[in-house]
Amino acid sequence: MAPRAIITGAAGLIGQYFVRSAPRWASGWEVRALSRADLDLTDHPAVERAWRSIKPDAVIHCAAMSRTKDCEQQPQLAQRINVEATAHLARLSKDILFIFLSSGEVFDGADGWYQESDRTDPINIYGKNKLEAERYVLQNPAHTAVRVVLTAGTSQHGNRSFVEDMCHAVKNGGSVTLYDDEFRCPLPAGAIARAVWELLDRKQPGLYHLGGRERLSRWEIGQALLPWYPELRGRLLRGSSRDHQGAPRPADLSLNCDKLQRLLSFQIPGLRSWLDGRTSRGDDLWDFQPGVS
């Protein structure tokens, strides 16, 4: 029998790509996709019953309450979903492979190009949740945490990725303000899925960073997307994080990914280099197509 891998958050942005890419990058695995509709991860007895029934050999835990604003407004719910549910899953998976999708939001954003060994100092509830959950996960030396930052992709309902958020904002004639002094290292969801599937097979647990090779401001990201999303043209406004109101946002979350890169069979792309290699928007611009290396 093929080993069995559970994907939590399977209806979310990254989770969908793990499920869709499994036949290509994880052909040796039987994948069980679990969305919130399938299983409430905060219902611990139900989760325990599911684990006994499925008997997984590995877990890729993508499920999260990931919007910063929602976490600030509902901190208790964020704690239950992002921390308590993760800790419970890690305990249930103590004897199997477990990969937790964490976030670069564990850093304060004052420096950039963060390495795994750099000091963490989250400035918002989401980042604090992820850091606390990481510590539970990494108590087990056989478990893994992978920090990601900004994911480009196409979700089931068109409301999960930063690209989709921008398109929704302009759909009815609105505009989007993008800061030219807030930096990220965006990466397509397809590339994240391939990298994590490879990491699962490498069986080298620990803490890893996974982000694009290019450090881009939000404004630069928007400009790079214009040829592929013409609906954004004329709707993007250049702004500064000095004028930001709302939940705290780190200024620079670029990640050094050398540690993970050494384990992978392909070069982690940057956003602009990824887009330069596309020939059309196609069915999904952000999928990792066969033959791409």
Domain borders along the chain are: 4-276
The mean per-residue pLDDT over the stretch 127-137 comes to 98
Provide the pLDDT for residue 1.
Answer: 82
Mean pLDDT of the chain: 93
CB atoms within 10 A of CB 23: 10
Whether pTM exceeds 0.85: yes
Tell me the β-bridge partners of 146.
Answer: 101, 208
287-290-293 Cα angle (round to 5): 90
282 confidence band (pLDDT: 50, 70, 90): low
The mean per-residue pLDDT over the stretch 220-236 comes to 94
DSSP state of 207: E
Percent of the chain with pLDDT over 90: 83
Model pLDDT for residues 75-114, shown as the tens digit of each residue: 999 999 999 999 999 999 999 999 999 999 999 999 999 9
Asked if the model's pLDDT at residue 291 lies above 60, the reply is no
293 confidence band (pLDDT: 50, 70, 90): very low
Asked if the model's pLDDT at residue 132 lies above 90, the reply is yes
Taking alpha carbons only, the member of 129, 130, 190, 127 closest to residue 155 is 190
Provide the pLDDT for residue 158.
Answer: 66
Asked if the model's pLDDT at residue 290 lies above 70, the reply is no
Low-confidence winner among 12-16, 85-89, 145-149, 155-159 (lowest mean pLDDT): 155-159
For helices 189-202 and 13-25, what crossing angle results, to 10°? 60
CA distance 199 to 250: 28
Provide the pLDDT for residue 19.
Answer: 95
> 164-172 long-range contacts, Cβ below 8 Å, gap at least 24?
166/222, 166/225, 166/229, 166/232, 166/236, 167/229, 167/231, 167/232, 169/235, 170/231, 170/232, 170/235, 171/231
Model pLDDT for residues 47-76, shown as the tens digit of each residue: 999 999 999 999 999 999 999 999 999 999
Low-confidence winner among 34-48, 117-131, 159-173 (lowest mean pLDDT): 159-173
CA distance 219 to 63: 29
Cα distance between the two ends of the chain: 30
CA distance 73 to 75: 6
Low-confidence winner among 179-193, 207-221, 262-276, 278-292 (lowest mean pLDDT): 278-292
Position of tokens 């019953």? 49
Judge: domain 4-276, CATH 1.10.3210.10.
no
DSSP state of 21: H
Low-confidence winner among 78-82, 238-242, 246-250 (lowest mean pLDDT): 246-250
Provide the pLDDT for residue 153.
Answer: 87
Taking alpha carbons only, the member of 247, 181, 180, 185 closest to residue 212 is 185
